[in-house]
Amino acid sequence: MAGSTYGKLFTVTTWGESHGPAIGVVIDGCPAGLPLTEENIQQFLDRRKPGQSRFTTARSEADQAEILSGVFGGRTTGTPISVIVRNQDQRSRDYGKIKDCYRPGHADYTFDAKYGIRDYRGGGRTSGRETIGRVAAGAVASRLLKRLGIHVTAYTKAIGSISVPESEYDYDSINQNPLYMPNNEYAGKAAAYLESCVKNQDSSGGIIECIIDGMPAGIGEPVFDKLDACLAKAVMSIGAVKGVEIGDGFEAARMTGSADNDEFCMKKGTVCKKSNHSGGTLGGLSDGSRIVLRAAVKPTPSISREQKTVDIHGKETSISITGRHDPVIVPRAVVVAESMAAITVADLLLANMGAKMEYLEKIYKE
């Protein structure tokens, strides 16, 4: 299988299946000397692990990170960092009755069409557990960015039709509710809505918003590796994400140029913008303002309500999916989107080191 590696200089390769012995990641290109421990990675993994609330799968996994290489004495060595997380609570029997059926909304049919063979236990590589490797790499990338004064934060903007208005944001609330929403009152409304979904044997989608603060201007590699293009690819690569927008996004299509343009001004000798409709990027490069991106996440496809489908023999049938599944993917995907954004920015920052002679001279002459 090609396509399991992301990045050019800061590269991330994930491996493993949902019901295999383990899940893991190899992170290459991380500079030597970055302080890093298993606990640093664990803090990120704990945000996506199952069993944290009634709105996540009951699968009991510690998701304990173990660093196999690339770190010595609490610091990165510059060599590939390998992290493993062992699976402990697989229930492959839950999939025995439906192994020959194509589950609606899943990749069963497309994987059969491509490879002629698939791991039906939990979806194999298409399972949400694949994101463990992304999150572990995101923890490393975030520590690198923090040293440079860059901070990435993601949260649940909306679940179903319940959306937190920007004027009501309280970032301190993000980690105070199980849905990772920046407002506890709206989180309560969303929780009630999800309870109704569960009662109706259904699921919900939502929107993740991610902000990046502290970015210098000029990061990105036109033409094909623009900052916004790379962020879109990174976040769209997350399972269940069906759309990505930067800044005003699709709303910009309904605006006039005079309304959408961000006028420039000077503040304390620095070029700034009076607004941020562009979401922090111009011409595919960071413009020095806050980067804002959103990801639309589809409803969890595994629902207990009976659905029509086809089996591997071409016979029409019906299916009702049992087992342990999230009624909403969004809360556990928040840290995944944050991680992919951090990985992307780290990769492009490393690429930018060769953009000017003065950068090279600072490294090799001074």
pLDDT (tens digit, 9 = 90+) per residue, 14-56? 999 988 899 999 999 999 999 999 999 999 999 987 656 667 6
Q: Which of 138, 93, 130 is nearest to 1 (CA)?
A: 130
Question: Can you give the pLDDT at residue 126?
Answer: 86
Mean pLDDT of 105-124: 87
Q: Is the pLDDT of residue 316 over 80?
A: yes
Alpha-carbon span 24 to 321, nearest angstrom? 27
Question: Can you give the pLDDT at residue 238?
Answer: 97
Alpha-carbon span 133 to 137, nearest angstrom? 6
In Å, what is the CA distance from 362 to each residue of 287, 355, 356, 358, 359? 23, 13, 10, 6, 5
Mean pLDDT of 331-340: 97
Q: Which of 132, 178, 140, 185 is nearest to 163 (CA)?
A: 185
Mean pLDDT of 210-225: 97
The reported pTM is 0.93
> What 3 state SS string does 49-80 have?
CCCCCCCCCCCCCCCCEEEEECEECCEECCCC
pLDDT, averaged across the chain: 93
Alpha-carbon span 354 to 351, nearest angstrom? 6
Sign of the Cα torsion 49, 51, 54, 57 reads positive
Mean pLDDT of 267-294: 97
Residue-wise pLDDT for 95-109, tens only, equals 667 788 999 999 999
